[in-house]
Structures are given as structure tokens and as C-alpha cells.
Amino acid sequence: MAEGGEGGEVRFDWSDVEPIPQDDGPRPVVPIAYTDEFRELMDLFRAVLAKDERSARALKLTADVIAVNAANYTVWHFRRLVLESLGRDLHEELEYLDAAAEGNHKNYQIWHHRRWVVQKLGKDAVYKELEFTEGALKDDPKNYHAWSHRQWLLQELEDWKWELDYCSKLLEEDSANNSAWNQRFFVVTRCPSLGGLLQMRDSEVSYCIDSIKQVPTNESPWRYLKGLFLDDRAAFVSNSVASEACITELVKDPNNVPAFGFLLDLLSAGFQPTSGQKEMLQKVLPAWETPSELTDAVCMRLQKVDAMRCQYWAWRRSLLPLTVAAPEI
């Protein structure tokens, strides 16, 4: 059997190993049509695993098996045992993983193995790993595995200094990238040097509003803006910058669904418009006087302008206290 990939083309002698065929029973109901190569490799691997042989040829065999089935967690686990026994250079293992990940960026076993390698290498691997995940996210900005690995890196190896800038870069490219907004919130709430959500709130509110001004109907920054007041209803209701931005956008576009949704959240939390805000909102939603009537009118407007989710807005309306219903808008 010819093998390559680790140290170039290598040919190992396996004449001393008796392959162990797969036992599917005497009459398998739906036999799988394995290729000859796959069957040969797996029969040999079962024999090596049974002997617990931790050798260079065993390591090469794991690479060959992974090449035909990268999701085989038993092979990955055995590979880790062999790597430790041989004391191999784990920087070389990262290079091997770079190649194995090509076309397999959503393979859980590859990411799990990568995390194990990085844990062993420690801070020496930080820069390479951040660079690697950035490359994976260029191909697929919503790759859960890449984001999860990146968040683990930041917390485990405590290297946060560029992450907020990285989030800003992604959001400049696509302000609807929910994964980048999620990562930004992760950094703001977890990075020790930033001081937490309370410390960052004002600057993040400003960042959100700038993003909203560029694309007012983009729901992502509206959701992020609400998230900045997590578990702090009083601050949410009293933040004049957020409420003013919301009402201003509604005056510009009376059909702005995310802005109406944000206003409904404000009203549901106890927000009461000032006299000036009331005057502005009555241009958008006429014929209401009290906050409860306004809330009802907002729900009704959302049922019309967001037909896809009309049942959801009807449900939100059903949660309101019984009030004098506002007229049809």
C-alpha cells in the first residue's frame, strides 16, 4: 500500500498485520457498497486499533482513513493518542489540519481535533488560529464551527485586542451579518478589558444607530440595539438616544418594520413618549392618545406591513392589557 501526506510519499510494510474485516452479520439487510480502498483501509485500521499500535505507520494510516472518511471520530481519537506517544510537532499537525479542512469546514471532528492541538500549543497558536477562522468565515460567514472555535480561542488564550475591529470590518462589508453582530455582543460582554455591557453601552448604542442610518430596514442592528439593554428595562425605556432614533426612522419611513418592532418593545417595557415624540408619532399613526392606544395601533400596523409575520404580531397584540382599541390604520 502506497501512502503519502505526512513526510512525503512513504510506503510501509503491513505484512505482519492481519486485517480485521467488518462484521455486518451473516445476512445484512442493506449492505453498504464500500470501495475496495475504503474496505482495505478500515480492515487494516481495525487491526492496528486492536493492537493499540502507536507508530509512525499507524499515524500515517489514520491520515489515509481520514482521507476517505473525515467524520470517523474513532480514527481521530486514535490519531491523538499516537501523536502524544510519538511526541510529534503539533505545528506540523496544524498544517495537516489546514489541508484536511479544505472542503470540510463544517466537519465537527476536524474542529474538535484542531481545538485539542491548540490546547497543547497554547498561545503560540493564537495568531494562526485567528487567521485560519477568518479564512473559513470568508468562505462561509455563518459557519457555526468557525465562530465557536474563535470564541473558544478568545476566552481560552485571552487575546481579544483585535476582535472588536474584526467585527466592525465584517459589518462594514455586510451589516446584515447576524453572526458578526452576535460576535460583537460576545466581545462586548466577555472581554475583560472592555469593562462589560454597562461600560460599553453608550458607545455601542451610537455604533448601532450609525449602522441603522445607513440601512434603516436592516433588522440586525435593531435587534442588537435592544440586546444592549439586556435585563435592564429601566435603562431601555429611559434611553432617549435609542427612542429618538426609532421615532426619527419611523417618520422617514412609516412602513419600517424593524423600527416598529423596536417601538413595540419599548412600549411593552413601559415607554411613554414625550410631548414632542407624541407629536411626531401621530404623524405616522394618527388617532391615538394614550400609550396603550399607541401600542395597539403599532401591533395593527405591523400586521399590515409585515404580512409574513401577521400572526406573530396578532399574538403580540393579544398579550396587551384590555384597552380601548385604536381604529384601523
Residues noted as catalytic:
106
The C-alpha cell of 100 is what?
A: 484536511
Q: Is 76 helix (H, G, I), strand (E, B) or coil?
A: helix
Q: How far apart are CA 112 and CA 102, in angstroms?
A: 16
Q: How far apart are CA 269 and CA 265, in angstroms?
A: 6
The candidate with the shortest Cα–Cα distance to 244, out of 268, 263, 226, is 263
Residue 114 backbone dihedrals phi, psi, to 5 degrees? -60, -40
The C-alpha cell of 159 is what?
A: 487575546
The C-alpha cell of 249 is what?
A: 426612522
The C-alpha cell of 80 is what?
A: 491523538
User: Hunting for cell 461600560 — which residue is that?
Assistant: 199
Burial class (CB within 10 angstroms; exposed 0-12, middle 13-18, buried 19+) of 33: exposed
Alpha carbon 261 to its chain centroid, in Å, reads 24
Q: Is 289 helix (H, G, I), strand (E, B) or coil?
A: coil
Per the CB < 8 A criterion, the answer to whether 256 and 264 are in contact is no
Tell me the β-bridge partners of 318. Answer: none
